Amino acid sequence: MKLKCGFEWHVQLDTNKLFCSCPSLLIDKDKDIEIKRRFKASLGESGKADITASFEEGKARDVIYEAPVEASCLVEADEEPPHEINKEALKIALEMSNALNCKIFDEIIFMRKVIIDGSNTSGFQRTALIAIDGSFKVKDKNIGIATINLEEDSARRLGSNLNVAKFKLDRLGIPLVEIATELIETDEEELKEIAEEFGRFTRLFKVKRGIGTIRQDVNLSIEGGSRVELKGFQDIRHMDRVIVNEAERQKSLLKLINDRGYLSQNLNSINNKGLNQILSSTKSELIIRGIKSDKLVLGIGFKNFKGIFGYKLCEGKRFGSEVSDYLKALFGAGIIHSDELPAYGISLDDVRKVKEELNLGEDDAFLITIIKKEEKERAIDSILNRIRSLLASVPTEVRAVNEDNTSSFLRPIGGKDRMYIETDLPIVEVEKDLLKEAEKFKGFSTESLKSKYGLNDDTLNLLIKAKKLDLALKLNLELKLDFNTIKKVLVEDLTYVRHKLSLDLDENAAIDILKQIADGTITKEASAPILERMALNEFKSADEAIKKVNLRKLYKDELKKEILPIIKSGKLNENDIIISLKQKVGPRFDYNEAISVIQTLNGKKGNN
């Protein structure tokens, strides 16, 4: 299917928080401190309130924060201004910007983006534009990178109902790099490939790993449709399914608008009635519960609307669901529509009574919703506005991805009205050294790494998985060691020791060993036995271990002295000689060096 899509990736960095020195850790234990707040929409720089903010304000609920002391302080609680920006996070953002061939700004200005769903204690998210205009290559396709922002992650949502939203402050303030692509002309298969390739790319940097550490939003429009932002892909393996469903939903809606969009004129004269009386003897538990809790069972009739609410948009979604999801987001109550009845305990007889009450005929339809009495007018307005906008065009909105690969209305798309300048932070002038340092990452990618360093996929993946790629690159540069040796000692040997002894050994021990290998003091085969003994605390340093255990690499002369008697004993085959040598001196020789000595000795012998 032909699509126009854009990605927005949010990547958590593996550093401390962006504006304080708290560690970026998620804490899973009971609350220490609880903070209660309530939010109001404030005007943006343009003098207008943001549509999203106004929407959230309409919900008027309390927000409760759990504040674990291990991973939050007064900054997260918004009781103290932000501290100076985390330089390490900025450095990583600059590295990524360079790797994505972007134009980088040398001044960074933090803005406040109004968000009052409670996910930020301050009522805004701090975000700064770092770079623009880059590119990212997937196979032979160039993906345009529009913007790169450095921003703070939001608080972790623990749950919410109509009256209270609950969050934890541990995630708030974790540095995020937000990368937004230009619109890409693509299809659902390729879209998935791009997402996967981008995932591999980010792991070349110091970023967090695991579920929730890269979050991606996809905005999508089909021809004639509108921009819809899909948020919260849990699993990119099903991304293609979600995209296809959304494209289908937009297509079907466009068809409906074309065929029956004129019906929106009927919305000017709708009939509504309280149904508490006439449905007082229904078998529907849902309605009885509503009546008992003194709510209004509201019926709204729609002339000539038969079939509209039951109209299928995509697998699992009907026109009615679109109205229902919208109302749920606003009031916590969904709708029941006549196209799906009888159901939910509502009988044919109930349907007949409702139709009579609302004065409806064969071609008409009705909705039932159960709300607080005082919400009646607002609910009717919301329902009518929703139907009107659905019958006019595909509504531009943010939709949450559901587990069944469909999506539901989440909120309107925020605009520029939600941005204003962060006055608690100075303009950050990026230091020349930092810019220069990050420039080394120009064109950095898995492909460039492989070709530049002769790395194969296995070694690269292993180093990435073990989060040792930075270190390996550094050691390769400083020690002039090949990646196979580095990978063996830094990843394989450390893992071997950890599994064998169930002891964790500091990576400094491995670095120590690599230095000795680079100096020619030991061979890489000697690394595991030395690391083992260091893990057992027998020795404090590689140096001490090498001296005491006698694992020093043999000099060429010594190697000759060991090999000569083996040859004299009648062994001429190189492999046989190596096996005997190993039995005699263990890992104290380099294979290639030994072969060269054997060949020289054999040659000499031949000459004699």
Q: Which stretch binds Zn ion (CB under 5 A): 21-29, 203-211, 395-403, 434-442?
A: 21-29
CB of 268 to Zn ion, least distance (A): 54
> For Zn ion, which stretch binds (CB under 5 A), given 17-25, 57-65, 216-224, 343-351?
17-25
Stretch touching Zn ion by CB under 5 A, among 65-73, 97-105, 275-283, 514-522: 65-73
Q: Considering the complex, what minimum distance in angstroms separates the CB of residue 20 from Zn ion?
A: 3
Single out the segment in contact with Zn ion by CB under 5 A; choices: 22-30, 119-127, 193-201, 589-597: 22-30
Query: How far apart, in whole angstroms, are the C-alpha atoms of residue 599 and residue 588?
Result: 19
Contact stretch for Zn ion (CB under 5 A) within 19-27, 124-132, 337-345, 398-406: 19-27
Nearer of residues 18 and 370 to Zn ion, judged by Cβ: 18
Judged by DSSP in three states, 234 sits in coil
Q: Tell me 567's DSSP state.
A: H
Nearer to Zn ion, 20 or 564 (CB): 20
Nearer to Zn ion, 7 or 19 (CB): 19
CA torsion angle 198 200 202 203 (round to 10): 170
Sign of CA dihedral 415, 418, 420, 424: negative
Q: How far is the CB of 21 from Zn ion (least distance, A)?
A: 7
Residue partners of 218: CB distance under 8 A and separation at least 6: 5, 6, 7, 8, 191, 229, 230, 233, 239, 243
Minimum distance, C-beta of residue 76 to Zn ion, in the bound complex (Å):
5
**# residues near Zn ion by CB under 5 A:** 5
Q: Which stretch binds Zn ion (CB under 5 A): 18-26, 221-229, 286-294, 447-455?
A: 18-26
What number of residues does the chain have? 608
Residue with Cβ nearer Zn ion (22 or 505): 22
State whether the Cα torsion 414-417-421-423 is positive or negative: negative
Query: Which DSSP helix (H) or strand (E) runs through 125?
Result: strand 124-138
Nearest to Zn ion of 75, 247 (CB atom)? 75
Q: Tell me how far, at minimum, the Cβ of 94 lies from Zn ion, in Å.
A: 23
Nearer to Zn ion by Cβ, of 143 and 174: the residue is: 174
The HSE-up count of residue 257 (CA atoms within 13 Å, CB side) is 17
Beta bridge partners of 275: none
At residue 167, φ and ψ (nearest 5 deg) are -135, 160
Q: What's phi and psi for 127, nearest 5 deg?
A: -145, 145
Q: Which range binds Zn ion by CB under 5 A, 12-20, 153-161, 359-367, 443-451? A: 12-20
In angstroms, rounded to a whole number, what is the distance separating the alpha carbons of residues 223 and 239? 20
Q: Tell me whether residue 56 or residue 76 sits nearer to Zn ion (CB atom).
A: 76
Contact 111, 455 (CB under 8 A): no
Within 66-85, which residues bind Zn ion (CB under 5 A)? 73, 75-76
Say which residues have a Cβ less than 8 Å from residue 515's Cβ, sequence separation at least 6: 479, 542
Of the two residues 20 and 286, which places its CB atom closer to Zn ion in the complex?
A: 20
Considering the rule CB under 5 A, would residue 400 count as an interface residue with Zn ion? no
Is 22 near Zn ion (CB under 5 A)?
yes
CB pairs under 8 A, 24+ apart, for 456-460?
459/483, 459/484, 459/487
What residues are paired with 65 via a beta bridge?
A: 35, 167
Residue type at position 449: L
Q: Residue 440 in contact with residue 96, Cβ under 8 Å?
A: no
Q: How far is the CB of 173 from Zn ion (least distance, A)?
A: 6
The least distance separating Zn ion from the CB of residue 159, rounded to whole angstroms, comes to 23
What helix, strand, coil percent values describe the chain, rounded to 5? Answer: 40, 20, 35
Please, which residue, 86 or 272, has the CB nearer to Zn ion? 86
| Binding region for Zn ion (CB under 5 A) out of 20-28, 100-108, 386-394, 473-481 | 20-28
What is the closest distance, in whole angstroms, from the C-beta atom of residue 492 to Zn ion in the complex?
38
Please, which residue, 73 or 400, has the CB nearer to Zn ion?
Answer: 73
Torsion on CA atoms 485, 490, 492, 497, rounded to nearest 10: 130
Closest CB to Zn ion among residues 75, 111: 75
Does residue 20 bind Zn ion (CB under 5 A)?
yes
Strand, helix or coil at 62?
strand
Closest approach, Cβ 16 to Zn ion, in A, equals 9
Closer CB to Zn ion, 23 or 361, in the complex: 23
8 A C-beta contact, residue 197 and residue 138: yes
Nearest in space to 150 (alpha carbons), one of 397, 443, 430, 439: 430
Strand blocks (E) in 475-574? none
CA–CA separation, 9 and 78 (whole Å): 26
State the nearest-atom distance from the C-beta of 77 to Zn ion, in Å: 8
Least Cβ distance, residue 93 to Zn ion (angstroms)? 19
Least Å from the CB of residue 458 to Zn ion: 40
CB of 79 to Zn ion, least distance (A): 11
Query: Contact positions toward Zn ion, by CB under 5 A?
Result: 20, 22, 73, 75-76
